[in-house]
Amino acid sequence: MKKIFRGVWIYAVLGLITGVFYREFTKFNDFTETTMLSSVHVHMITLGSIFLLIVLILNKLFELNGNKGFAAWFWFYNIALIGVLTTMVIRGVYQVIGINAEMLSHIAGTFHTLTAASLIWFMFILKYALFKKSN
């Protein structure tokens, strides 16, 4: 539970920081076009902080961490999400300073796929906990 709660806080703080970074970095570079940086803040708050807050509540209600795969899922999810967020930040910075960031597309796609797989994995963990709890 403490690891999940720490994750909620870390993603919330980093989400706020990335929002400020986006605003200030684009302003400093006189950049007015669309950039990937504008999405990092929302992704970090939603998929990081809010989703993990929901996981924390579900864990409290249904003891998800009693599932053997929960700890592995937690680390897999965070690694995949951090990969997504990192590639988004790099791509956004490259867009602002004028460097072609197309090379990141495959890496970002891989991390997006891993994040999607971890969300599906979580649904199986939740399903197991719900049906186990109801018996």
Does residue 134 have a pLDDT over 70? Answer: no
Task: Tell me the residue range of the domain where 16 lies.
Answer: 2-134
pLDDT in tens, 47-102: 999 999 999 999 999 999 999 999 999 999 999 999 999 999 999 999 999 999 88
Total count of domains within the chain: 1
Cα–Cα–Cα angle for 44, 11, 46, nearest 5°? 40
pLDDT band at 132 (very low <50, low <70, confident <90, very high): confident
pLDDT in tens, 16-30: 999 999 999 999 999
Q: How far apart are CA 6 and CA 77, in angstroms?
A: 15
Residue 67, by phi and psi: left (phi above 0), alpha (psi -120 to 50) or beta? beta
3-class secondary-structure state, position 102:
coil
